[in-house]
Amino acid sequence: MSYIPGQPVTAVQRVEIHKLRQGENLILGFSIGGGIDQDPSQNPFSEDKTDKGIYVTRVSEGGPAEIAGLQIGDKIMQVNGWDMTMVTHDQARKRLTKRSEEVVRLLVTRQSLQKAVQQSMLS
Amino acid sequence: MDTESTYSGYSYYSSHSKKSHRQGSLLFFRERTRERHKSPRNKDGRGSEKSVTIQPPTGEPLLGNDSTRTEEVQDDNWGETTTAITGTSEHSISQEDIARISKDMEDSVGLDCKRYLGLTVASFLGLLVFLTPIAFILLPPILWRDELEPCGTICEGLFISMAFKLLILLIGTWALFFRKRRADMPRVFVFRALLLVLIFLFVVSYWLFYGVRILDSRDRNYQGIVQYAVSLVDALLFIHYLAIVLLELRQLQPMFTLQVVRSTDGESRFYSLGHLSIQRAALVVLENYYKDFTIYNPNLLTASKFRAAKHMAGLKVYNVDGPSNNATGQSRAMIAAAARRRDSSHNELYYEEAEHERRVKKRKARLVVAVEEAFIHIQRLQAEEQQKAPGEVMDPREAAQAIFPSMARALQKYLRITRQQNYHSMESILQHLAFCITNGMTPKAFLERYLSAGPTLQYDKDRWLSTQWRLVSDEAVTNGLRDGIVFVLKCLDFSLVVNVKKIPFIILSEEFIDPKSHKFVLRLQSETSV
């Protein structure tokens, strides 16, 4: 998302998701795509087609993620403090679905946020 | 049949105004009536034509009366009326034939002396060269035998080696030089002439030396004389090697590509050649022309001129500004007006061609079916069965004549519509049919010769219309080939334009790819729901 190397990404949002228990599993209600072992050029949400980060590809209706304010197309950069910009797809999945955690705090960024920040900086 | 065309009504105007008379006067009228009845296409269309009474045109035929008389006897309708063998064949003399015959007559005398002069000079020189070493070793014993030193085994060994070398030289010369001339070239063949001069000088210088040093002074050392003769034979073998390299080997490596385009229909081919002179390259092109290019058919070319003439016709230039003879201005005005003029000739062309295609395909379908049905009746008789039915056994020619009438009409119609009827006479078709039956070919194999135009060699020699050629070139024809040379080979009716291009210098380098380095990964885009 307009990533300039060496500069911190400023347009970020923190999202706190409380996992929902469904039978045996704890679900969060969204789907992820991307990872360093995946093909970044097929990612429809990324601005930069070489970006191998983890993106939210689908948010299920009424799920915990939607309630918490996660939107489709968001890039997840941290999960509970763990970095998600340089992980494989499977590692990302594991970090999100730890059975011991009931709450996950995500650091996400999205393009609309970026634009809003830029506009406010200009004006 | 050069003005016969099956395009639309324009053919009527043009052939009518040309006053050309051919044997196909019958044919000409038939084509016209067929073109007029375009829509009601019934199978008995030819029946209506039979009721037309034809008078041959009253203009004088070009070649005298005997040929026209024989023509009226022969019925061009052999497809429909033949049940018995009549053995006629088509003779059609057109204007081109007249010109060709007259030209043939004037070219055949007088120029053969040039051909034979070269031959006699070369053979005389060859004989002289061959007999020289023998003379060298025979003359001393004849002239001054008593004074010669005896020379034992060494001389005999030298005699044997000289005999074998002479034999090898003889065989080599026979193989290389005594071949039938395949062409008549306009200019002398430079390399051959150079070699003859070289040999001549060489032999003369040897004789000179021999005459002065040996004959005059009556040298006694016979071994030396024999060695001298052997050295002559060695040198002759080396000259023979030089001849092989110059005449045969040098042109083998391809250096140039020649593009040959026929001027009438644009058919083109490419040939690769080495270093040759222009006249030899022309010879190679012509030898390949007869087997690669389809036969030149003048009947296929007449339509475009009519279209173009009609496009420009009807435009007249009037000068309203007073008398000024500006010819270029007038012609430019005409061209501009013709270009701006909105005519629909492209439309007509498109629909004509579509209609023609359709008709050709229909006739082809009928032809294929007729031939297949005809071929079913023929069966090869096995050897054992030959004694059983002696009455009906036929040889291939009779078998061909038996099944020919059933397919003759369809074949003739197809040849007419593809305008090939001049190139296949009934006799040639029967021969081909007998040939196919003998060799057990399928109907499709028999038909292939008629469905597509073949190379010139496939047809009868009098249909070729291309046997005398003239070479037109800016440079001397004995110069070697170079990139960018264009020369033209002209025949009576058309010409072949030859463009020489150099084969580019190829830079080839090597790249090594380790076979173990072929590794692959899967690139996915998976989506996991959490």
What pLDDT does B49 receive?
40
Residues 3-32 (A) with a CB less than 8 A from some CB of B: 27-28, 30-32
Of all residues in chain A, the one with the smallest CA distance to B527 is A33
How distant is the Cα of B292 from the closest Cα of chain A, in angstroms? Answer: 53
CB contact under 8 A, B526 and A38: yes
Range name among B22-31, B103-112, B437-446 with the lowest pLDDT average: B22-31
Interface check A80 vs B, CB under 8 A: no
Best A19, A20, A36, A37 residue to mutate vs chain B (most B CBs within 10 Å)? A37
Residue B193 pLDDT > 90, yes or no? Answer: no
Angstrom distance (rounded) from CA B185 to CA A60: 91
Of all residues in chain B, the one with the smallest CA distance to A27 is B530
Mean pLDDT for the stretch of residues B208-226 = 85
- How wide is the angle at C-alpha B464 spanned by C-alphas B181 and B180, nearest 5°? 10
Helix or strand (DSSP H, E) at B346: helix B345-376
CB contact under 8 A, A96 and B530: yes
User: Greater confidence, B438 or B31?
Assistant: B438
Interface check A38 vs B, CB under 8 A: yes
Please tell me which of the candidates A30, A34, A39 has its beta carbon nearest to residue B523.
Answer: A39
CB atoms within 10 A of CB B80: 15
Angstrom distance (rounded) from CA B144 to CA B215: 10
Angstrom distance (rounded) from CA B308 to CA B14: 13
- How wide is the angle at C-alpha B373 spanned by C-alphas B372 and B374, nearest 5°? 90
Angstrom distance (rounded) from CA B396 to CA B394: 6
How distant is the Cα of B520 from the closest Cα of chain A, in angstroms? Answer: 13
Give the number of beta-carbon pairs within 8 Å between A and B.
Answer: 38
Of all residues in chain B, the one with the smallest CA distance to A95 is B530
Angstrom distance (rounded) from CA B439 to CA B436: 5
Which residues neighbour B485 within 8 Å (Cβ) at sequence distance 6 or greater? B278, B473, B474, B475, B499, B500
How does strand A103-109 pair with strand B256-262?
A: unpaired
What pLDDT does B60 receive?
40
Of all residues in chain B, the one with the smallest CA distance to A31 is B529
Q: In sequence order, what are the beta bridge partners of B497?
A: B261, B488
What digits encode the pLDDT tens for the residues B229-253? Answer: 999 999 999 999 999 998 888 889 9
CB contact under 8 A, A97 and B523: no
B527: which chain A residues are within 8 Å (Cβ-Cβ)? 31-33, 57-58
Mean pLDDT for the stretch of residues B212-225 = 84
Task: Read off φ and ψ for residue B459, nearest 5 degrees.
Answer: -100, 170
Residue A102 pLDDT > 70, yes or no? Answer: yes
User: Greater confidence, B61 or B185?
Assistant: B185
What pLDDT does B314 receive?
66
Helix or strand (DSSP H, E) at B352: helix B345-376
What pLDDT does B189 receive?
82
Q: In sequence order, what are the beta bridge partners of A31?
A: A58, B529
Residue B473 pLDDT > 50, yes or no? Answer: yes
Residue B18 pLDDT > 60, yes or no? Answer: no
**Banded model confidence at residue B77, pLDDT cuts 50, 70, 90:** low
Helix or strand (DSSP H, E) at A65: helix A64-68
Angstrom distance (rounded) from CA B87 to CA A62: 98
What pLDDT does B359 receive?
94
User: Greater confidence, B142 or B412?
Assistant: B412
**Banded model confidence at residue B37, pLDDT cuts 50, 70, 90:** very low
A27: which chain B residues are within 8 Å (Cβ-Cβ)? 529-530
Radius of gyration of chain A (CA): 14
CA-wise closest residue to A53 among A8, A108, A15, A5: A108
The answer to whether the complex's ipTM is over 0.85 is no
Interface check A39 vs B, CB under 8 A: yes
CB contact under 8 A, A38 and B524: yes
Task: Read off φ and ψ for residue B346, nearest 5 degrees.
Answer: -70, -35
Angstrom distance (rounded) from CA B236 to CA B229: 11
Please tell me which of the candidates A39, A60, A96 has its beta carbon nearest to residue B524.
Answer: A39
Residue B24 pLDDT > 80, yes or no? Answer: no
**Banded model confidence at residue B301, pLDDT cuts 50, 70, 90:** confident
A97: which chain B residues are within 8 Å (Cβ-Cβ)? 530
H-type alpha helices, B145-221: 153-177, 190-209
CB contact under 8 A, B528 and A27: no
Is the Cβ–Cβ distance between A103 and A17 less than 8 Å?
A: yes
What pLDDT does B41 receive?
42
CB atoms within 10 A of CB B415: 19
The most confident of A35-39, B28-32, B456-460, B483-487, by mean pLDDT: B483-487
CB contact under 8 A, A32 and B530: yes
Mean pLDDT for the stretch of residues B63-69 = 40
The most confident of A48-52, A75-79, B20-24, by mean pLDDT: A75-79
CB contact under 8 A, B529 and A97: no
What pLDDT does B88 receive?
46
**Please, what is the average pLDDT of chain A?**
87
What pLDDT does B80 receive?
62
How distant is the Cα of A120 from the closest Cα of chain B, in angstroms? Answer: 35
Range name among B375-384, B397-406, B430-439 with the lowest pLDDT average: B375-384
**Please, what is the average pLDDT of chain B?**
77
Range name among A5-14, B99-108, B153-162, B368-377 with the lowest pLDDT average: B99-108
